[in-house]
A and B are shown apart, each in its own frame.
Chain A
Amino acid sequence: MFNIYFLLFVSGAILALVIIYVMIYGGLGVAKSLLYYEARTVVETLASTTSAVASHHGEFLTGIIYRGSLPSGICDLKVEGNKVTMKIPEQLIPTSPTDVKIKEAKIQASESTMEIPVPNYIQIKPFTAKCEKGISRSILIQKQGNEVWFVTA
């Protein structure tokens, strides 16, 4: 017959392992979800700021400094026409049950896109964030006349 203390020890050890596993798994899921929404917020912020710049008359210069935790910074960012798009790394797309309970199916897309409402006489120059010198964390938005363009700082 098994000793009661031995049974307690084995059961306790199993429970401890389960707790550690759930905490790591759940913690990673939450962190992943936060990063996923961070990527979406970056796109929304850039689209909104660009729109605000476009609404000004004359020259304008402003910038966005990203202080978040996305592994690639804002390297996967692209502006084309009047749309801002950011690729979301595959490992950040929520999939497991411990991730955010997603209401919209489209939210699981591998990229986030946001339209920039601007007057049709405003020309937004195409832009792709270049990260040859490492992770990019800031973008300058410049306006002169009816042209708006971006510079990776």
Chain B
Amino acid sequence: MVRDSMKGQLHFAPEIMIKALGFIFIAITLIATLFSLQQYSITYEGRPELRQLIDYSENYLSSKCITYEDHGTFFKGVFDKNKLDKNVGGCITFSKPVTIIIKDQKGGSWSSRPASSLLSLSSQRLTYPIVVKYSDQFVPGIMEVTI
């Protein structure tokens, strides 16, 4: 009898404990899973400023008020020097301040903003190869657009 009761005691206590521990383990695992589910998030990385800068540049490169014209045809990316001298800012309607810097291989340089204000330029910058039409020749150059 003593042996039987000892057997019962030996088996009964660990069984409860194992079940309880198992339950605690499962519960902790599930709670941790739920917690990690709550951490799901979406990262949306839009770059509307860069997109608008590209749009602005494309329009600038082809705008009639700055490009070279020959018999009614406007040449995209070919700037008329006389038009640049008059209005390097172009004629694009846009509320954000955009800076245009044009330099050619003949030493010609145009900027839509005064040199002192160029220090506060932001990080969005694009560079395009362009051509400047002088009265007697076409000179390659570079256009830098910054927003």
Contacts and interface: CB of A to CB of B under 8 A. Distances in A.
Interface string B76-105: 000000000000001111111000000000
Interface residues of B, number: 37
A121 interface: yes
A51 interface: yes
Please classify the interface of chain A as helix (H, G, I), strand (E, B), loop, or mixed, using the class held by over half of its residues.
helix
Interface string A49-73: 0011011110000000000000000
Contacts of A51: 55-56, 58-59
Interface stretch (B36-44, B106-114, B120-128): B36-44
A118 B92 CA distance: 5
Place the interface of chain A in its size category: 35 or more
A112 B20 CA distance: 54
B34 interface: yes
A115 B30 contact: no
A97 B49 CA distance: 28
- Pick the most buried of B16, B41, B61: most chain A CB atoms within 10 A of its CB: B41
A52 B52 CA distance: 11
Interface in B122-137: none
A17 to B, nearest CB: 11
Contact of B34 (A19, A44, A101): A19
A101 B39 CA distance: 10
Contacts of B93: 82, 117-120
30 contacts: A4-B19, A4-B20, A8-B19, A11-B27, A18-B34, A19-B30, A19-B33, A19-B34, A22-B34, A26-B38, A33-B42, A33-B44, A37-B44, A37-B46, A40-B46, A51-B56, A51-B58, A52-B58, A55-B58, A55-B59, A57-B62, A57-B64, A57-B74, A98-B38, A114-B48, A114-B52, A115-B94, A115-B96, A120-B92, A121-B65
Given A22-B38, A48-B54, 5 more contacts: A8-B23, A44-B51, A55-B59, A57-B64, A120-B91
